[in-house]
Amino acid sequence: MKVLIIGSGGREHALCHALKKSSIIKEIFCIPGNAGTDSIAKNFEIDMKNFQKIKEFVNQYKINLVIIGPEQPLVDGIVDYLNENNIKVFGPNKIASQLEGSKTFTKELCKKYNIPTAKFGIFEDIKSANKFLEKCNLPIVIKADGLASGKGVYICNNKNDAIEAIQEIFNGKFGIAKKILIEEFLDGEEMSFFIISDGETYYPFGTAQDHKRVYEGDKGKNTGGMGAYSPSRLENGNLNKKIIDKIINPTLKGLKDLNTKFEGFLYAGLMIVKNEPFLIEYNVRMGDPECQTIIPKLKTDFAEVVNACVNKNLKSINLEWHKDKSLCVVLCSKGYPDKYEKSIEIKNLEKIELNKNEFIFHAGTKKINQKIYSNGGRVLNFVIRSKNFKENRDKIINLINQINWINGFYRKDIGYKVID
């Protein structure tokens, strides 16, 4: 089987790595990929927005299956386009992708199907949003409606910060904003809960805890994710049942009532308050960096799982998992999530020796003349799987110290809730 992965991050490298281990995979292609995928797949520089070029590429190389990594192509309808051209693709269609593409879509779904979530208001202009603020308790949460790469969320402790957040969103900080959400602040602990679905059958696909803030102690701005660990320390049978019964099942029913089904990965970002789950947001793909912690724990052949999904036969698969604990630390460019330099060489990467449970997944990297250079804000993902979270983090810090890259920084406290 020939597989094409769309995307260029650590998630896509982790997916490539999982596919490479499969006996049914003959060849892997990436559009556009990164320096890491280049070692196990064939990278091609094609614009992810150019669906026609991607279709032509798939036909030219006789690719059997396409896997979509990031959210933007999904929200833009790449699955619909490829399906219309008789190309098998793993991921949700354009309607189902609104779960991530439009926070207002998801909130209205929650309201209609009694899915527990924070109380909210939806606003289309600064004046009405500011007026609503006057009767809100603090802290308050302000969100951009569309895609914002995990950064379009403000937790405001005073009215001035809230007013400034509203202005920044409507002034285009995260692209054109037609709507914003103002939500009550839920005081609990976050948890990421994943499922995989073929449209009829679905299975839970792991839990994780992301670390969004840029600095240690959960300080500073929101990012795409500075690290993660899996499983979440909150995971238990009782809570999982509540998540499925109160959040996942009503969501899937809501989509069916819209004459669509969910196919692919669905990621529920949750706030757990006194062992009760509340939906914060949905992502319609694997999280990044959560994917890098979950995929290495999968025992079952990942290619077989995805192939079963696109053939509407997931029920034939028995998912098996390593019971280890997995932890990921993301090495970033100094300045991220704001301005940062690119094209700085990362030395000594090739000298690092890894065992079978240690991984370095590339994200914002590029290869020029066999040398590796930074090419983004989040650059490398260091992942270790073992019986102990602290051992994982200590080993990762040791691996990072072997690299010679003057422009890197990372959080040294990833997993602090299960370690420190």
In a domain, 293, yes or no: yes
Q: Are 208 and 325 in contact (CB under 8 A)?
A: no
**Which residue from 392, 20, 64 is spatially nearest to 230, judged by alpha carbons?**
392
Radius of gyration in angstroms for the set of CA atoms belonging to the chain, rounded to a whole number: 21
- Helix or strand holding residue 238 (H, E): helix 237-243
**pLDDT computed for residue 356 by the predictor:** 95
In a domain, 42, yes or no: yes
Question: Tokens 């300080």 map to which residue?
Answer: 219
Separation of alpha carbons 119 and 158, rounded Å: 18
C-alpha torsion sign, points 38, 41, 44, 47: negative
Whether residue 249 sits in one domain with residue 311: yes
Cα→Cα distances 347→393, 397, 408, Å: 22, 16, 12
Question: Tokens 């660990």 map to which residue?
Answer: 229
What CATH number is associated with residue 34? 3.40.50.20
In a domain, 230, yes or no: yes
Per DSSP, the residues of 276-293 read: EEEEEEEESS--TTHHHH
Out of 316, 342, 372, a domain closes at: 316
By DSSP bridging, strand 65-68 and strand 89-90 are: parallel
Whether residue 302 sits in one domain with residue 224: yes
Amino acid, res. 286: M
Per DSSP, the residues of 77-100 read: THHHHHHHTT--EES--TTTTHHH
Burial of 60 (0-12, 13-18, 19+ CB in 10 A): exposed
pLDDT along the chain (420 residues), means of 10: 98 98 97 97 97 98 98 97 98 97 91 94 87 85 74 83 88 73 91 97 97 95 94 96 98 97 97 95 96 98 98 97 97 97 96 96 97 97 97 97 97 95
Out of 266, 282, 316, a domain closes at: 316
User: How many domains would you assign to the chain?
Assistant: 4
Can you read off the two tokens belonging to residue 115?
């899915």
Residue 70: cis peptide before it, omega within 30 degrees of 0? no
**pLDDT computed for residue 41 by the predictor:** 98
**pLDDT computed for residue 253 by the predictor:** 97
Residue 337: cis peptide before it, omega within 30 degrees of 0? yes
Task: Kindly report the pTM of this predicted structure.
Answer: 0.92
Whether residue 156 sits in one domain with residue 84: no
What CATH number is associated with residue 273? 3.30.470.20
Phi, psi of 37 (to 5 degrees): -65, -25
Whether residue 333 sits in one domain with residue 290: no
Separation of alpha carbons 234 and 216, rounded Å: 21
Whether residue 195 sits in one domain with residue 180: no
Phi, psi of 127 (to 5 degrees): -60, -50
- Helix or strand holding residue 362 (H, E): strand 358-362
Whether residue 81 sits in one domain with residue 59: yes
Separation of alpha carbons 72 and 281, rounded Å: 16
In a domain, 413, yes or no: yes
Cα→Cα distances 371→24, 58, 192, 343, Å: 31, 29, 35, 11
In a domain, 379, yes or no: yes
Whether residue 222 sits in one domain with residue 293: yes
Out of 281, 316, 351, a domain closes at: 316
Whether residue 138 sits in one domain with residue 19: no
Burial of 260 (0-12, 13-18, 19+ CB in 10 A): middle
**pLDDT computed for residue 144 by the predictor:** 84
Whether residue 292 sits in one domain with residue 205: yes
What CATH number is associated with residue 168? 3.30.1490.20
Whether residue 198 sits in one domain with residue 276: yes
In a domain, 145, yes or no: yes
Whether residue 275 sits in one domain with residue 368: no
In a domain, 381, yes or no: yes
Per DSSP, the residues of 205-234 read: EEEEEE--EEETTTEEEE-S-SEEEES-TT
In a domain, 406, yes or no: yes
**pLDDT computed for residue 135 by the predictor:** 79
Phi, psi of 149 (to 5 degrees): 55, 35
Whether residue 171 sits in one domain with residue 128: yes
Provide the domain limits for residue 85.
Answer: 2-90
What CATH number is associated with residue 344? 3.90.600.10
**pLDDT computed for residue 176 by the predictor:** 63
Q: 10 Å Cβ neighbour count for 242?
A: 16
